[in-house]
């Protein structure tokens, strides 16, 4: 009984340590602003406005239903107050760190680790399971690379998927251990059923979870499998979850979901699968460098696409990664934990660093799930190098454990300080994008984003300066012309604004925001016939293009007979669903339509006032 109480006490202290460190390093992140994809996924996302409307939330993006359900929950309680979103994100991160602790502890409790089948040091490290698990959890919770998946709100997709991923593994391992001790254990059966449920939730959170069934098989081979073949009957439910993501994508490509995906640059890219794979060889080496030396972190890396396998950086990276994998295979017998942690890292990266091209080749939040492998590798590696073997350490003698803990504590402290400092940079858009511009001075998107941040603050001089720099780098960046044109509109340089909008249409003739912006400008100039011309030239009124209702109402001279009273009602609904009441421009323009509904059919829409309309393309977006 005393041993049980002692174990409970140690586990409780471990969890408290992890929670306290995590809260401390993210204590300055609760009021960081919305960034990048947060605008399209939260601020302007009509699908998450009603938490009780599961059909609408499903239509946001079916294959990420759990993610958008969590955002809808946040919006239900907090609307657009960032504090609640950050509390949720931190809770997920802390939960994931605790699951890392649990996962490592359970792994060290498997018969393979307590015996000799996982290497000669299995017994030694298992004797210190509480300590090793705690250190792994602290490494995971404090690493600076985790910031992008925690402080960047919508990237909870990575942290939440990892939470369910780890929960599945922990529940599955627990069910297997209980089954070994007592085959008819009801608790073991419950854990198994719950593990299947969390696996399904992981699949519906983010696509990185597609590796989960493979990870379970790898774990079985590493720590649970006895002599003979695997028990596929136990594994089949997890194997079947492999089909959830592709089947969901195939069956639920609704118009609304497709429209939302179209707003995000995560669709087809100019990078071929082969060149993307070559690039990812270098990216994975960069990831390894960032794991061990997390300095000069960057939201938007300026990373070159590899052109040939014979490029020196590409072939060197490929050879380096091959050597690591060969070492992992050779360590399988003698140091099973080290081997498994390396395979975890590479397997977790497969969905985003293989042959499926993504527009942005590198992002730090993609390391959230691989970080589990790194945490295990670092702590176990330190133990194998410095810890006791067969009761003693050939290097450090009796103080080996103390020295190992001290070194890891210093590393965790340094990482915690770096995390706290990096969070301060995420405080608002101007600070964040100024930092990004300094680190990616030859990339146009950071200047574009910084320009828009200044635009939102009303600093049009700095906004124009950054837009000009973005166009120097990328002269065909259409969205920059729209934003710069809107900025010129604000400072009443209408000729230059018209020039920018026209240039945007030359580059992309069917780019709707250019028409919206031109219409807005001509409303400001009291040239309403031109406004109607650009509203009706290429874009037809329909419920799929909600922003059109704003510009139609601004034009002020469209009569109801020109598009019908029923359509007017649809426009009102679009305004209501597309933008929230928290946005003054939405309230103002929607009021035009609402007022019109109460008037006769011969009356014109609109008002003599001139609303300041900025095209909805102004938010910068990054692939999640």
| pLDDT bucket at 397, cuts 50 / 70 / 90 | low
| pLDDT for residue 250 is more than 50 | yes
The model carries a pTM of: 0.84
The larger pLDDT score, comparing residue 237 to residue 115, is at 237
Task: Using DSSP, state whether 319 is helix, strand or coil.
Answer: helix
Task: Using DSSP, state whether 487 is helix, strand or coil.
Answer: helix
DSSP string, 544-576: T-TTHHHHHHHH---BGGGT-HHHHHHHHHHHH
Q: What is the pLDDT of residues 445-461, one digit of tens each?
A: 999 999 999 999 999 99
| pLDDT for residue 124 is more than 60 | yes
Say if residues 210 and 203 touch (Cβ distance below 8 Å).
Answer: yes
What is the average pLDDT score of the chain? 82
The reported pLDDT for the residue numbered 118 is 53
What is the distance between the alpha carbons of residues 114 and 106, in angstroms, rounded to a whole number?
11
Tally DSSP H helices, then E strands, for the chain: 30, 0
| pLDDT for residue 511 is more than 90 | no
Say if residues 158 and 208 touch (Cβ distance below 8 Å).
Answer: yes
Q: What is the pLDDT of residues 566-608, one digit of tens each?
A: 333 333 343 333 333 334 333 333 333 334 334 333 333 333 3
Would you state the torsion angle of the CA atoms of residues 251, 255, 259, 265, taken in this order, to the nearest 10 degrees? 20
For 280, residues 6+ apart whose C-beta sits below 8 A from its C-beta are 353, 354, 361
559-593 as b/e: b if 16+ CB within 10 A: ebeebeeebbebbbebbbebbbeeeeebebbbebb
The reported pLDDT for the residue numbered 512 is 78
The reported pLDDT for the residue numbered 391 is 52
């Amino acid at each position: 009984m005393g041993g049980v109480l002692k174990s409970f006490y140690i586990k409780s202290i471990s969890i408290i340590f992890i929670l306290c460190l995590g809260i401390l390093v993210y204590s300055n992140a609760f009021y960081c602003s919305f960034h990048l994809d947060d605008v399209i996924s939260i601020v302007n996302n009509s699908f998450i406005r009603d938490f009780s409307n599961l059909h609408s939330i499903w239509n946001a993006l079916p294959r990420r239903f759990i993610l958008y359900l969590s955002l809808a929950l946040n919006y239900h309680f907090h609307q657009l107050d960032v504090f609640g979103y950050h509390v949720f994100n931190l809770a997920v991160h802390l939960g994931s760190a605790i699951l890392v602790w649990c996962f490592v502890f359970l792994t060290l409790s498997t018969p393979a680790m307590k015996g000799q089948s996982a290497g000669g040091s299995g017994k030694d490290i298992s004797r210190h399971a509480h300590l090793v698990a705690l250190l792994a959890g602290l490494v995971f919770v404090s690493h600076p690379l985790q910031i992008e998946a925690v402080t960047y709100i919508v990237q909870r997709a990575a942290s939440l998927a990892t939470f369910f991923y780890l929960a599945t593994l922990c529940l599955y391992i627990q069910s297997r251990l209980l089954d070994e001790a007592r085959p008819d254990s009801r608790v073991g059966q419950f854990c198994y059923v719950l593990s299947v449920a969390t696996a399904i939730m992981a699949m519906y959170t983010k696509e990185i979870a597609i590796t989960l069934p493979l990870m379970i098989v790898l774990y079985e081979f590493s720590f649970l499998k006895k002599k003979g073949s695997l028990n596929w009957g136990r594994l089949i439910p997890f194997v079947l979850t492999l089909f959830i993501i592709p089947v969901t994508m195939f069956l639920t490509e609704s118009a609304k979901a497709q429209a939302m995906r179209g707003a995000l640059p995560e669709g087809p890219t100019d990078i071929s699968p082969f060149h993307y794979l070559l690039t990812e060889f270098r990216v994975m080496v960069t990831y390894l460098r960032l794991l061990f030396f997390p300095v000069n972190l960057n939201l938007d890396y300026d990373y070159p696409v590899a052109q040939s396998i014979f490029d020196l950086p590409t072939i060197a990276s490929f050879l380096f990664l091959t050597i690591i994998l060969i070492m992992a295979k050779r360590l399988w017998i003698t140091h099973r934990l080290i081997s498994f942690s390396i395979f975890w890292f590479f397997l977790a990266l497969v969905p985003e660093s293989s042959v499926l091209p993504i527009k942005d080749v590198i992002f730090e939040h993609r390391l959230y799930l691989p970080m589990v492998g790194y945490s295990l590798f670092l702590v176990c590696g330190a133990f194998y190098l410095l810890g006791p073997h067969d009761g003693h350490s050939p290097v450090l003698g009796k103080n080996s454990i103390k020295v190992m803990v001290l070194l890891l504590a210093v590393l965790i402290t340094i990482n915690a300080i770096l995390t706290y400092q990096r969070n301060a940079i995420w405080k608002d858009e101007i600070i964040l994008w100024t930092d990004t511009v300094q680190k990616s001075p030859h990339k146009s998107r950071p200047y574009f984003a910084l320009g828009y941040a200044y635009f939102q603050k009303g600093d049009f001089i700095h906004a124009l300066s950054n837009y000009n720099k973005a166009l120097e780098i990328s002269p065909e960046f259409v969205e920059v012309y729209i934003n710069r044109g809107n900025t010129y509109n604000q400072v009443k340089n209408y000729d230059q604004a018209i020039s920018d909008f026209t240039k945007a249409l030359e580059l992309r003739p069917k780019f709707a925001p250019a028409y919206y912006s031109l219409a807005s400008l001509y409303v400001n100039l009291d040239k309403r016939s031109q406004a109607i011309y650009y509203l009706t030239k290429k874009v037809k009124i329909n419920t799929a293009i909600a922003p059109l209702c704003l510009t139609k109402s601004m034009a002020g001279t469209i009569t109801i007979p020109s598009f019908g009273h029923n359509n007017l009602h649809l426009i009102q609904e679009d305004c209501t669903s597309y933008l929230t009441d928290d946005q003054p421009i939405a309230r103002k323009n929607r009021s035009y339509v609402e007022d019109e509904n109460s008037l006769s059919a011969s009356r014109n829409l609109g008002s003599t006032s001139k609303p300041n309309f900025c095209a909805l393309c102004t938010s910068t977006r990054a692939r999640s």
